Amino acid sequence: MKKRHVKRLVLAAAALALLGVGVLVSGIVPVKASGGHWAVTRWVLDFASDRSVSLHSRGVDTPPLDEPGIVRLGAAIYETNCRFCHGEPGGGRPPVAGGMTPKPPNLLTAARQKEPRELFYIVKHGIKFAGMPAWPTQQREQEIWPVVAFLQQWPETSTAEYRQMVHGRADAPADVSVDGFAATIDLVRRRCAACHGVDGHGIGSPRVPILAGQREAYLRQALLAYREQDRHSGVMMPVAYWLSDAQIAALAAHYSSQPPPPESSQESLARIDRGLQSEGRRWAHQGDVAAKIPACVACHGPGEHSDKAHQAEPHYPRLAGQPQQYLQNQLRLFAERNRGGGPDASLMHEVADNLDEDHRAALAAYYASLSAKDEK
């Protein structure tokens, strides 16, 4: 009797398998997005997605999301990477995204229901079967936290406030040195100003480098590296990918020609630890023989040695006056092999390997405390 039941079960399973194969081969199951999901299918997918995100995001440590400029930076990144599908705060779903199956979720609801760690996990890894892509590069997860900070503010953000955050620095009159070509300034406003400003002074976020007065060869090489995906960034790569060689040259020339921010608008010296600054100065000028750390000034200034180095290698960047957090993060990325860059980026790997977190913090504090005139 038991053998008979087993045989029936096997035959039933085989019949179901053959039926499934027949359905798949026949093509009878529609895959058109215009038809939408059945209600039960939508519920199952949503439930499975929510449970998976909740489980796999448990190991994510959420950093403080109240640092200066982080929400505004997140809005600028969202504008480039996310708005096409999810729309603006206070607005409806964009029409093209409305034809997707499943449709992009209501971010007002998601922002209120999801924990920061869950939002981070979704933005970083995307969602299968939902049209939600993973972050363009997995090496730069710190870029995602500003987006999370912005999404948390989504329910309290109006359309006008969002557009001011994204376009305010681009639309405001700027006292900049223009090369005479309106097309360049238009390109700057459309592609760069939301994060860097038209003048290259940035938007007050310590995560964003100051471009004004940076060396033209370095800026050009950086944009080329982003475009070719040799330098990792889920923020810069999507922007640089569409730039032509001529546009990259124009942007590099524009920002390198802008005067650096006045000392009064630089990162407050009161926030820089004096002990770190002093230690960083010693390491930058003298190096650390025991730790096999060369003197930074030989390539990055300040001083006459850097002038000679730049004449031979004009794509070495100026570091004076860059935000402390940005510099420290770049050194960490070099050590982790998560930065990438132009042909000479690998030169920093051996140096970064010998820097511990104290070295990185001190060197970043020292260079952040300098102004452009200190480099002369």
Give the residues across from 340 on adjacent strands.
231
Is 2 domain-assigned? no
338 and 254 fall within a common domain: no
81 closest CA partner among 132, 116, 129: 132
* CATH number for position 343: 1.10.760.10
Is 205 domain-assigned? yes
Last residue of a domain, one of 237, 261, 285: 261
94 and 115 fall within a common domain: yes
Between CA 358 and CA 366 the distance in angstroms is 12
151 closest CA partner among 139, 136, 162, 142: 162
Last residue of a domain, one of 164, 196, 221: 164
The total domain count for the chain is: 3
122 and 215 fall within a common domain: no
181 and 118 fall within a common domain: no
Is 308 domain-assigned? yes
Q: Does the model's pTM come out above 0.85?
A: yes
71 and 160 fall within a common domain: yes
Q: Which domain holds residue 61?
A: 48-164
Q: Is the dihedral of CA 87, 135, 121, 208 positive or negative?
A: negative
Place of tokens 């001011």: 164
Is 292 domain-assigned? yes
Cβ–Cβ under 8 Å, residues 225 and 132 = no
Altogether, the residues listed in the chain come to a count of 376
* CATH number for position 74: 1.10.760
203 and 253 fall within a common domain: yes
Is 7 domain-assigned? no
318 and 367 fall within a common domain: yes
152 and 179 fall within a common domain: no
Place of tokens 């997005």: 33
Per-residue pLDDT of the chain (376 residues; tens, 9 = 90+): 567 777 788 888 888 888 888 887 888 878 888 888 889 988 998 999 999 999 999 999 999 999 999 999 999 999 999 999 999 998 888 888 888 888 888 888 888 899 999 999 999 999 998 889 999 999 999 999 999 999 999 999 999 999 999 987 655 544 444 444 578 889 999 999 999 999 999 988 999 999 999 999 999 999 999 999 999 999 999 999 999 999 999 999 999 999 998 764 555 555 778 889 999 999 999 998 888 889 999 889 887 655 655 565 688 999 999 999 999 999 999 999 999 998 888 899 999 999 999 999 999 999 999 976 566 5
Is 4 domain-assigned? no
Within 10 A of 320 (CB to CB), how many other CB atoms are there? Answer: 23
